[in-house]
């Protein structure tokens, strides 16, 4: 394709788009803009690689790291544990938009303006869909699971143990080394109602399914957290040391457990926060990717309008501008392949 | 890109289907490794991670070479973009090795602290 459009350009003296790049030959047989977008993408690839390598380095340096299939296991309108389902959906949305983008580029080559606009419109919808998914994911993590840039309530056990029940004795709930937990957060209300409403899970231990209805904890229905009389006796009305947990000033419930294996067997400990870097890396890297998607949507919109207005017709280069934004859009998809691998799969 | 329009359309459709299928397989591999598919069976991490990394690289190849048309560009362009990326191979090895060393240091410091308390 590129060759025939370029030949056209060679003989076309009206085309001033590549004037400063005009020599006897096109270096690498592509237009200036397309070559430069390739080099921009190369530099962007290094930026993302730097971030992902930082993630890997910090993960390797920590004794434990939250297990992704536990952290990312929520799905809109569904209760319970759905590991990786939602991010797989997000991946498909982005892949689909990559496909519609390539169709737009192909229609551009045959100067079919209407076709370009339709397929670009679908691409924009895909991009917006992806951003919507990400917004939901972030909202759940921040609003319901209380993860932030500096606080990571997702910890991982490095020893096997048995949780303590409300009476301060061993409960039937055990865990293995390497399993990830989410520390729940309670809000301290003035009235009993406020406390129980905010921490519905604690007051409804007998029916694990019912607790999701309170809407407080999304990971609630699984992990047998509230089962077996977990900590049903309290609503943790204030910070302090309870028989089965330590509640800190911010309301995070650090459940107590007895280590059942290894060096520290028999000692009582309470759950700690997970590696702080996890939240910061997650929000920064997926945020940076999301920002790429967002700016991509903006550029797509601008170029779609330009295509419809007929600006590119006079250039007679097979809508190369659509091809350039296409390269950027596929790159965003390419980055997602690796974000998906590093954050969610490994 | 294939020179005729219908051929190009077919290739695009084929590529997206392969990408979707590989993604599904990747997720299934991840879940098998974590013990979700076969109840309680955790497949060896090394094998599962290698598989997933391999499949992701394959996906990256498809996106760059088919969707981004790298396959049909001049060889010089291809090399000038792809060769610098190879630098990352060393970056990954070096940094992950370093990260692992930090973990080792942390363990050492804890042991030393214990000795000092015992004194």
pLDDT-wise least confident of A14-23, A32-41, A189-198:
A189-198
Query: Are B77 and A345 an interchain contact pair (Cβ–Cβ within 8 Å)?
Result: no
Q: In A, which residues are within 8 Å of B68 by CB distance?
A: 326-327, 330-331, 334
When the pLDDT of each residue in chain A is averaged and rounded to a whole number, the result is: 80
Interface of B with A in 65-104 (CB under 8 A): 67-69, 72-74, 76-77, 80-81, 84-85, 88, 91-92, 95-96, 98-100, 102-103
| Alpha-carbon gap, residue A212 to A196, rounded angstroms | 14
Claim to verify: residue B22 and residue B48 sit in the same structural domain: yes
Could B80 and A28 be called an inter-chain contact, meaning their C-beta atoms sit closer than 8 Å?
yes
Judge contact between A154 and A71, C-beta under 8 A: yes
Of A302 and A206, the structure prediction assigns the larger pLDDT to A302
In a domain, residue B115? The reply is yes
Number of C-beta neighbours around residue A160 at 10 A: 17
- Same-domain check for residues B91 and B68: no
Same domain, B61 and B6: yes
pLDDT at A23 (0 to 100): 63
Q: What is the pLDDT of residues A99-127, one digit of tens each?
A: 999 999 999 888 888 999 999 999 999 99
Chain A CB contacts of B59 under 8 Å are: 337
pTM here? 0.81
Q: Does A334 touch chain B (CB under 8 A)?
A: yes
Mean pLDDT (whole number) for B3-25? 90
In this complex, how many residue pairs, one in chain A and one in chain B, have their CB atoms less than 8 Å apart?
138
Residue in chain A closest to B25 (alpha carbons) equals A88
Residue B79 lies in a domain: no
Residue A238 is predicted with a pLDDT of 80
User: What are phi and psi for residue B10, nearest 5 degrees?
Assistant: -65, -45
Predicted confidence at residue A15, as pLDDT, reads 53
Residue A32 forms contact with B (CB below 8 Å): no
Q: What is the pLDDT of residue A22?
A: 63
A118-122, A263-267, A271-275, A322-326: which range is least confident on average?
Answer: A263-267
pLDDT of residue A29: 82
* B100 and B62 part of one domain: no
What residues of chain A, 247 to 276, have a C-beta less than 8 Å from chain B?
none
Question: Is B28 in CB contact (< 8 Å) with chain A?
Answer: no
Q: Does residue B80 lie in a domain region?
A: no
Report the relative pairing of strands A161-164 and A240-241 from DSSP bridges: unpaired
Closest Cβ–Cβ partner in B52, B67, B76 for A102: B67
> How does pLDDT run across B79-88, given as a tens digit for each residue?
999 999 999 9
B1 part of a folded domain: yes
Does B9 score more than 70 pLDDT? yes
Q: Taking 50 as the threshold, does the pLDDT of residue A270 lie above it? A: yes
pLDDT for the residue numbered A234: 55
Looking at chain A, which residue has its C-alpha nearest residue B13? A99
Mutate to test the interface with B, among A29, A54, A61, A81 (most CBs of B within 10 A): A61
pLDDT of residue A224: 37
Instruction: Name the residue with higher pLDDT: A98 or A27.
Output: A98
Residue B81 lies in a domain: no
Give how far A279 is from chain B: nearest CA, Å: 18
Alpha-carbon distance B16 to nearest alpha carbon in chain A (angstroms): 6
A65-81 pLDDT, tens digit per residue, is: 888 888 888 888 887 78
Q: What is the pLDDT of residue A195?
A: 42
Q: Minimal Cα–Cα distance from A147 to chain B, Å? A: 23
Q: CA–CA distance from A312 to each of A9, A165, A188, B14 (Å)?
A: 13, 70, 61, 29
Q: Average pLDDT in the B46-59 region?
A: 93
Q: State yes or no: pLDDT of B71 exceeds 60.
A: yes
- Of all residues in chain B, the percent with pLDDT exceeding 70 is 96
Placement of tokens 């020599």 in the chain:
A23
Q: How far is B35 from chain A (nearest CA, A)?
A: 10
Asked if B56 and B63 count as a contact pair (C-beta separation under 8 A), the reply is: no
B43 lies in which domain range?
1-73
Query: What is the rounded CA–CA span in Å between residue A318 and residue A312?
Result: 8
Residues B57 and B112 reside in one and the same domain: no
In a domain, B78, yes or no: no
Tell whether B62 and B91 lie within a shared domain: no
- Domains identified in chain B, total number: 2
Contact B23 A95 (CB under 8 A): yes
**Residues A69 and B31: beta-carbon distance below 8 Å:** yes
Clarify whether residues B55 and B7 are in a common domain. yes
- Asked if residues A71 and A86 have their Cβ atoms less than 8 Å apart, the reply is no
Is the separation of the CB atoms in A316 and A16 below 8 Å? Answer: no
Q: Which of A21, A24, A43 is nearest to A32 (CA)?
A: A21
Asked whether the beta carbons of A246 and A183 are under 8 A apart, the reply is: no
Q: Assess if residue B63 is contained within a domain.
A: yes
| Pair (B8, B45) in one structural domain | yes
Residues B46 and B104 in one domain: no
Residue B92 lies in a domain: yes
Contacts of A326 in chain B (CB under 8 A): 68
pLDDT at A216: 39
Q: Which residues of A touch B36 (CB under 8 A)?
A: 69, 83
- Mean pLDDT across chain B: 88
Residues B31 and B69 in one domain: yes
Task: Return the minimum-mean-pLDDT range out of A10-14, A158-162, A218-222, B18-22.
Answer: A218-222
ipTM score for this prediction: 0.90
Q: Which of A46, A337, A343 to mutate to test the interface with B (most CBs of B within 10 A)?
A: A337
Name the residue among B1, B16, B103 with its Cβ closest to that of A62: B103
Which residue segments constitute the domains of chain A, with CATH numbers given?
A: 2-150+277-345 (1.20.120.80), 154-270 (no CATH)
How far is the alpha carbon of B57 from chain A, nearest alpha carbon, in Å? 9
Residues B4 and B60 in one domain: yes
Q: Which chain B residues are within 8 Å of A2, Cβ to Cβ?
A: 1, 69, 72-73
- Is the predicted pLDDT of residue A329 greater than 60, yes or no? yes
Bigger pLDDT: A229 vs A43: A43
Torsion angle of C-alpha atoms B1, B5, B10, B14, degrees rounded to 10: 30
- pLDDT score recorded for residue A24: 65
Res A131 pLDDT > 90: yes
Q: Which residue of A has its CA nearest to B90?
A: A53
Average pLDDT over residues A262-277: 83
Partner B contacted by A109 (CB < 8 A):
yes
pLDDT for residue B3: 60
Residue A98 has pLDDT above 90, yes or no: yes
| pLDDT band, residue A296 (cuts 50/70/90) | very high
Q: What percent of chain A has pLDDT over 70?
A: 79
B48 and B103 share one domain: no
CA neighbor of A342 nearest in space, from A28, A32, A54: A54
């Amino acid at each position: 394709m590129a060759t025939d459009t370029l030949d056209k350009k060679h003989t076309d003296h009206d085309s001033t788009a590549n004037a400063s790049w005009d020599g006897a030959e096109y270096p690498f047989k592509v237009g200036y803009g397309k070559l430069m977008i390739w080099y921009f993408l190369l530099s962007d690839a290094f930026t993302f690689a730097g971030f992902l390598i930082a993630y890997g380095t910090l993960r390797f340096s920590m004794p434990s790291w939250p297990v992704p299939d536990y952290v990312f296991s929520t799905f809109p309108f569904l209760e319970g544990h759905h590991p990786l389902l939602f991010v797989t959906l997000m991946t498909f949305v982005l892949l689909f938009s990559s496909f519609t983008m390539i169709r737009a580029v192909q229609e551009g080559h045959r100067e079919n303006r209407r076709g370009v606009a339709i397929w670009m419109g679908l691409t924009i919808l895909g991009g917006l869909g992806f951003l919507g998914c990400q917004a939901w994911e972030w909202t759940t993590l921040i609003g319901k699971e209380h993860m932030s840039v500096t606080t990571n309530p997702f910890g991982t056990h490095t020893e096997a143990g048995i949780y303590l029940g409300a009476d301060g004795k061993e409960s039937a709930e055990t865990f293995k080394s390497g399993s990830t937990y989410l520390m729940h957060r309670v809000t301290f209300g003035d009235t009993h109602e406020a406390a129980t409403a905010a921490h519905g899970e604690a007051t409804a231990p007998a029916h694990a399914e019912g607790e999701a209805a309170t809407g407080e904890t999304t990971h609630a229905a699984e992990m047998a957290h509230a089962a077996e009389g977990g900590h049903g006796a309290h609503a943790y009305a204030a910070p302090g040391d309870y028989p089965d947990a330590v509640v800190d000033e911010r309301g995070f419930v650090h459940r107590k457990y007895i280590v059942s294996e290894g060096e520290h067997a028999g000692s009582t400990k309470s759950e700690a926060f997970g590696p702080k870097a996890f939240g910061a890396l997650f929000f920064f890297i997926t945020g940076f990717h999301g920002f790429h998607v967002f700016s991509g949507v903006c550029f797509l919109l601008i170029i779609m309008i330009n295509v419809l207005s007929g600006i590119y017709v006079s250039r007679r280069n097979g809508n190369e501008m659509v091809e350039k934004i296409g390269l950027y859009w596929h790159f965003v998809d390419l980055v997602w392949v690796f974000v998906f691998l590093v954050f969610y799969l490994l | 890109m294939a020179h005729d329009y219908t051929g190009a359309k077919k290739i695009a459709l084929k590529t997206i289907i392969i990408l979707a299928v590989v993604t599904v397989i990747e997720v299934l591999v991840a879940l098998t490794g974590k013990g979700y598919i076969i109840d309680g069976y955790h497949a060896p991490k090394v094998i599962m991670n290698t598989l997933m990394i391999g499949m992701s690289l394959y996906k990256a190849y498809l996106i760059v070479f088919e969707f981004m048309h790298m396959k049909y560009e001049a060889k010089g362009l291809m090399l000038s973009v792809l060769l610098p990326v190879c630098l990352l191979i060393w970056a990954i090895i070096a940094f992950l090795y370093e990260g692992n060393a930090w973990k080792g240091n942390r363990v050492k410091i804890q042991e030393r602290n214990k000795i000092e308390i015992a004194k």
